[in-house]
Structure 1
Amino acid sequence: MLQFMVEQLNEQLSQHGTLIDVILRSDQSLVEEEEIREIILTFAGAEEEGKPVATIHLFELAEENSCEVEVEVEYAGARTAAHVSQLWEHARMLIPEISLTEKRRYIEPDKPAQEVQVLDYHFVVQEPGTKEEAEAFADTLERFAADLGKLVRLDA
């Protein structure tokens, strides 16, 4: 399912930006006999320094024959509270369940060395088995790619 998702996402996302990196991660638990497989895609609207970048995590849910998609879009740089609020409102128009996290890293008191706003959301897709399910799956990925293309271009 993961390879199928990467192929489908590559096709859809290429119409809205550039896949910068694809990483396969496999973690084996030392306590339980369980392996977690994950693919991490890095996507940008433009390959320019300082532009928003999306990280897409794909987790295979084997028992359900489905895949969980987690998305984080990072906007680096200092922004006023009004700009951050506007960014979040625009993002919520596209994806109502999206959340916002602000991260600040300090080296000296009251002087942030790094400021980042992260929009994130997730959803689950089932592997299509019928023609109707395949059409719904394609529609979901098409909408996801279009929305993500818009999110990486939002600049508050």
Structure 2
Amino acid sequence: MRRRHRWLVGALLLGVAAAHAQQLVVMRDDGAVLLRLELSAVPTWEVRWYHSVAGFEVRDRYRLKGGQMLLQDSYAPDFAAGLGHIPGRGRLESDPNGGYWLREIDEPVPNNRYALRVGSARVDHRLVHAGRSISLSALAAGERVTLAVVPAAQSPAADVTP
């Protein structure tokens, strides 16, 4: 009987974990899924791209905390067009290699989703997760996509994960 109880408890715990599993999906406006990433083991990711005017790499780091997508940190080597620090929004920190970090932004992303106009190959929007870099520009340059955190059970059925 003890084995049966252990099996039942294990099955219930797996069911609870599956019910709370979250995925980051990238989809086109027509709902086609371009990318799906499981966030259970690694609940952080970055969106990286090259600034269209200055040409340097910008990094926005996100995390999932308590089911909420948060913009955690942002990095840029310079205060170029569209970049900078807003007092009260994170902590400005110099990077010893040059540039700056905006740390501890921890800004909730409304509805766990946001739209992104994917840049050309020169801009090279990339999604970095668990040591893997995926070029969004290779998948959807010039298109509007939505990045969204959704429960794994609710994510769209189609899967074209590269």
Greater percentage in helix: 1
TM-score between the two structures when normalised by the length of structure 1: 0.37
Q: Which has the higher contact order (CA 8 A, sep 6+)?
A: 2
Q: Which has the larger radius of gyration?
A: 2
TM-score calculated relative to the size of structure 2: 0.36
